[in-house]
Structure 1
C-alpha cells in the first residue's frame, strides 16, 4: 500500500486526484494540504483522510506519507516538489511541471539525484483511446503515417473573457496559459499516437490586449497568447500541424484529430462531443469504419468514477507498478522536461518567425 499526501487538495485535485486514488487498491490517501488549516480540515473530513496540513513541507515530512501529489499553481510547484524530494518521497506533479524549461531541468535533475519515483500528470498517455490509436498506427493499420493534423478548443483560455478563478493566468509569468496548459497536454497526446516533433514552426497570436473577468465589469491586461498555431516534422518524417483556438466556454467543442497514412486515414473526435483530447473517450474511425476500443485497454476498476478521474487513475496504476518493478513511470519528469523543451521551441519560433529544432 502506497500512502499518499495530496498538496492542493481543495482545488483541481478534489474532483480528480482524490477520487482516482480512492478507487485504487494500491493507494491510501493519508494526508492533505491546502493554503489554510480550515480548508485542509474540511477536505480531510470529506474524504476520510487522517492528517490535514496548511504547510506542504510538513505534509511531505510526515512518516505516514510515501508519495506527494503536487496539485497547486504552477508557480508553487518547485517549492513543493523540492520539499518532497528533500524528505525522500516519491512525487507526482501536475502539468506543467514548472514555469519554464530551466526550472523543469532543475527539478528533473533534483528528482534523479534523490533516487525516488517521479511522474508528471500528462494523463493522455494512459487514455484507452490514445493507447489503442497508437497501437493501430504502430501496427500499420493506415500504412505509413504521412501527416497528422489536430484542431482543438483551448477554452476557457484565449477569449475576450476569462473565469475569475483563472484571471491570474493572464500574467505570462504565471505559466498557466493556452500554450502551457492546453498545448502542453494536447501535443503530448498527439505525440503519443503520432511520434515526436523534431522541428516546429509556430505563431502565438495575442488578439486581446485586455480581457474581461467573467461576472464583473473589470478588465485585466493580457500577457498570454490567445491561439497556438504550429506545423512541423515528426521523427518518422511525417508532417504534423495543430491549431489550438481560444474561447470563453469550458471545453466548448472538443477536437478533431486526423491521421493520414499511405493506405488509409484515421479520424478521432470526442465520444461525448465536448471533451479535451486527453480527458475522455474518443470516437475512432478508420476509412469511415467506427472502431470500438477493446476492453483490454481499460485497466481502471469500476470503483473509480468515469470522466477525468479515470485517466488519472490509469497514470497512478503505472506509478504504482513502476515503484514495485523499480522502473521509471510514464511519463516521468524527464518526459515533462522534454515537453517543456517543445513548448520553448514553439515560443522561439513564434518570436523569430523561423523553424526551430526540438532538442
Structure 2
C-alpha cells in the first residue's frame, strides 16, 4: 500500500486526483494540505483522511506519507517538490512541472539524484483511446503516417474574458497559459499517438491586449498568447499541423484529430462534446469505419468517474507498477523536461520566425 499526501487538495485535486486515488487499491490517501487549515480539514473529512495540514513541508515530513502529489499553482511546484525530495518521498507533479525549462531542468536533476520515483501528470499519454490509435498506426492500419492535423479548443484561455479564478494566468511568469497548459497537454497526447516532434515552426498570436475578468466590467492587461499555431516534422518524416484556438467557454467545443497515411485516413473526435483530448473518450474512424476501443485498453477499475479522474487513475497505476518493479514511471520528470523543451522551441520559433530543432 502506497500512502499518499496530496498538496493543493481543495482545488483541481479535489475533482481529479482524490477521486482517482481513493478508488485504487494500491493507494491510501493519508494526508492532505491546503493553504488554510479549515479547507484542509474539510477535504480530509470528505475523504476520510487522517491528517490535514496548512503547511506542505509539514505534510512532506510526516512518516505516514510515502508519495506526495503536487497540485498547487505552477509557481509553487518547485518548493513542494523540493520538500518532497528532501524528505525522501516519491513525488507526482501536475503539469507543467515548472514555470520554465530552466526550473524544470533543476527539478529533473534533483529528482534523479534523489533516487525516488517521480512522475508528471501528462495523463493523455495513458488515454485508452490514444494508446489504441498509437497501436493502430504502429500496426500499419493506415500505412505509413504522412501527416497529422489537430484542431482543438483552448477554453477558458485565449478569449476576451477569463474566469476570475484564472486571472493570475495573464502573466507569463505564472507558467499557466494556453501554451503551457492546453498546448502542453494536447501536444503530449499527439506525440503519444504519432511520435515526437523533431522540428517546429510556430506563431503565438496575442489578439486581446486586455481581458475582462469573469462577469465583471474589470479588465486586466494580457501578456500571454490567445492562439497556438504549430507546424512541424515528426519522427519518421510525417508533417504535423496544430491549431489551438482560445475562447471564453467553460465547456470547449472539442477537437478534431486527422491522421493521413499512405493507405488510409484515421479521424478522432470526442465521444461527448466538451472534454479535452487528454480527458475524453474518442470516436475513432478509419476511412469512415467506426472502431471501438477494445476493453483491454481500459485498465482503470470500474467506478472511477469518466473525465479527468479516469486517465489520471491510469497514470497512478503506472506509478504503482514502476515503484513495485523498480523502474522509472512514464512520464517522469526527465520526460517532462523534454516536453518543456518542446514548448521553449515553439516560443523561440514564434519569436524568431524561423524553424527550431527539438533538443
Bucket of the pairwise TM-score, normalised by the shorter protein: over 0.9
Query: Secondary structure of the residue that 1:150 maps to in structure 2?
Result: strand
Alignment of 1:336-351 (within 5 A): 336-351=336-351
- Residue number in structure 2 paired with 1:100: 100
Offset, 1:303: 2.9
> What is aligned with 1:53?
53
Aligned residue in 1 for 2:38: 38
Cα distance per residue 1:270-289 (max 9 Å; x no partner)? 00022100001000000000
Is the 1:153–1:254 Cα contact (8 Å) retained in structure 2? yes
More displaced, 184-193 or 247-256? 247-256
**Aligned length in residues:** 359
Deviation by residue 1:247-304 (Cα, 9 ceiling, x = unmatched): 0012321000000000000000000022100001000000000000000001011132
Distance 1:272 1:328 in 2: 34
Within 5 Å, which residues of 2 pair with 1:1-359? 1-359=1-359
Shifted more, 302-311 versus 57-66: the winner is 302-311
Q: Which runs of 5+ in 1 are unaligned?
A: none
Aligned-partner SS, 1:245? strand
> How far does residue 306 in structure 1 lie from its aligned partner after superposition?
2.0
The gaps in structure 2 that reach 5 residues or longer are none
* Contact 2:275-2:307 within 8 A present in 1 as well: no
Find the aligned partners of 2:306 and 2:175 in 1 and give their Cα distance.
29
For 2:221 and 2:101, the matched residues in 1 are separated by 25
Separation in structure 2 between the aligned mates of residue 128 and residue 73 of structure 1, nearest angstrom: 28
Return the offset for 1:308: 1.3
- C-alpha separation in 2, matches of 1:236 and 1:54: 49
CA distance in structure 1 between the partners assigned to 2:249 and 2:80 by the alignment: 31
Residue by residue, what CA displacement relative to the aligned partner does 1:71-114 show, whole Å, maximum 9, x if unpaired?
A: 00000000000000000000000000000000000000000000
Equivalent residues of 1:36, 1:54 under 8 A apart: yes
Which deviates the most, 296-305 or 339-348? 296-305
Runs (4+) of structure 1 exceeding 2 A deviation are none
CA distance in 2 between partners of 1:164 and 1:128 (Å): 34
Contact preservation (8 Å) 1:68, 1:90:
yes
Q: Contact conserved, 2:32 with 2:51, CA < 8 A, in 1?
A: yes
Where 2:309 maps in the other structure, the secondary structure is helix
Task: Give me the CA root mean square deviation.
Answer: 0.5
Q: Deviations over 1:140-187 (max 9, x none)?
A: 000000000000000000000000000000011100000000000000
Q: Counterpart of 2:130 in 1: which secondary structure?
A: helix
Structure 2-normalised TM-score? 0.99
Which region of structure 1 is more displaced relative to structure 2, 94-103 or 299-308? 299-308
Q: Taking structure 1 as the reference length, what is the TM-score of the superposition?
A: 0.99
CA contact (8 A) 2:252 2:276 kept: no
Structure 2 CA distance, aligned partners of 1:99 and 1:318? 25
Q: CA deviation at 1:212?
A: 0.2
Does the 8 Å contact 1:22/1:304 carry over to 2? Answer: no
- The answer to whether the 8 A contact 1:154-1:251 is kept is no
Q: Contact (CA 8 Å) 2:10, 2:43: kept in 1 or not? A: yes
